[in-house]
Amino acid sequence: MAEPGCLVRARRFSYRYPEAARPSLTDVSLIVEPGTFTLLAGASGSGKSTLLRALCGLVPHFHGGEASGELEVGEMDVREHGPGELAAVCGTVFQEPETQVVLGGVRAELELPLEHRGEPPGAVARAVEETALALGVGHLLDRRTDTLSGGELQRVAIAAAMVHGPRLLLLDEPTSQLDPVAGDELVWLLRRLNEDWGTAVVIAEHRVERCLPVADRVIALVDGQIACDAAPPRFLEWAAESAPALTTPASRLFSLAGLRPLPTSVKEARAGLRRAGLAAARDSAPVGEPRRPAGRRPWRRRRGPAPALACRDLWYEIEDGPAVLRGITLELLPGVRVGLMGRNGAGKSTLLRLFKGLAEPTRGSVERAGQVALLLQDPGGYLIHDHVVDDAGPAGVARAGVAGRERANPRDLSGGERQRLALEVVLAAPASAAVLLDEPTRGMDRLHREALAARIRELAGGGAGVVVATHDSEFVAEFADRVVLLGQGVVIADGPPAEVLGGGRHFSTEVARATDGAALTPEQGAAALAFADLSGEPVQ
């Protein structure tokens, strides 16, 4: 039996998916106490999503497979109690909210869990209102779910999971589709719920830097086993030594620069740089990138090849609703790698759909020089067979990094693995003039993001124009040679990454915030600090 007051207790719990060659979880032993905030870290396929599925009962009841050992949630054995019973104890939000939201209206979606519990109408109305306000979706209550952006849909899914006040909240990559401000707000909201309401939170995140400042504990999984279970500072030291791919950008900067202790937040990084006397001046330029005059510059060049894609005075308006895009004129040249950024609802996904031809503009035009390949946010739309090899083929399975799992069902893969497979399905078509990717790093660890950045450079080297809509500033700094930042349906910045990412506060990288824009990446930051140390002056 579980220890008194213990929410989760696992003892040597192991699990293997049907037809899998090896277990996804092996001898997992842990305890989660009420009111704690636990961060799950690990590479794609390390077992984070599987552990969350086990905690809410989907493993083994929905996925099947073989389970051994002990796992209890709220004093209920997960092999004897299914997801319906466990839902009384825990709320769960997975990587793909579009598969979790089941009703056509936002208000109805939030009311559903309470109505299933038999709550009276007055209690339902109050809980929906308070939860919507707490999650920042009050303005969406009367919207149809099919009109929401991916980030808005994710917030609605989180609100639906929290509306009945569960003692345990399980979240799988909850900030992956949220813009930087919304993502940070969500993390601090979860911490407030954790502190004020006593809700225990278990959150799996590849962007560990977002959660470290609020986490009490980090559990790192490697090949389905717990490799580290420690407080954030000790986790960073372990990661720097044993799992560099799990380190944060700021801690990588400190490691490269030979500084200690490793920071768990931007605030600690800035303080550590000041103590070392190495903080760069606010007006210094990013390494290798001259500071340019402020102001927007368009995508197009005056001379050169014809654009792979172009839109002119592009408008997209919702009937009886807002204008999603307003008078956008842009050109994408062959071989150019563009990071398309902006807050949730700014119009990024809509712009990509218009480029592909999946929607028609209200006004304006789109010109295409050839085929346009588009990877949408939901990989499930591309994975329609029972075995992954039937969707992507043997070569695609290997390139997606899931070799050996050709006979696995796509639903049994992690979110990052499904995303990589969907990308291979999209790119299996004949060469395209333009390749458009909508939030392709959702569920991807650092190593796979680096591999995707290399793939993007390969596509651009072959002559394709590439546009990636993403909230991942660190990823944009790795692959892009131009960044376009959307406001509410308009372009508010268009220029090189050093200017757009280095000159802001929110749409920026962790290293840029720690160094006042003197560098975007840990490698650039270490070089800048080494120069400052040697010369006694900040990098100019």
Q: Please give the domain boundaries of the chain with CATH numbers for all domains.
A: 8-242 (3.40.50.300)
Separation of alpha carbons 86 and 75, rounded Å? 10
Amino acid at 19: E
Return the pLDDT at 461: 94
Residue of 513, 512, 508, 514 lying closest to 493 (CA atoms) = 508
Residue of 97, 92, 21 lying closest to 62 (CA atoms) = 92
Write out residues in the chain with pLDDT < 70, as ranges.
1-5, 150, 279-304, 531-540
Enter the tokens of residue 223.
Answer: 């090949």
Return the pLDDT at 268: 95
281-319 pLDDT tens trace: 444 444 444 333 333 444 444 456 789 999 999 999 988
Peptide bond into 394 cis (omega under 30): no
The pTM (predicted TM-score) of the whole model is 0.82
- Give the ranges where 172-243 is alpha helix by DSSP (H): 180-192, 208-211, 232-242
CB 419 within 8 A of CB 443: yes
CB 4 within 8 A of CB 75: no
Return the pLDDT at 304: 66
252-281 pLDDT tens trace: 999 999 999 999 999 999 999 988 877 554
Residue of 477, 461, 468, 534 lying closest to 509 (CA atoms) = 477
Return the pLDDT at 64: 87
Q: Cα angle vertex 76, ends 72, 82, to 5°?
A: 105
CB 473 within 8 A of CB 496: no
Tokens 């213990």 -> residue: 6
Separation of alpha carbons 223 and 165, rounded Å? 33
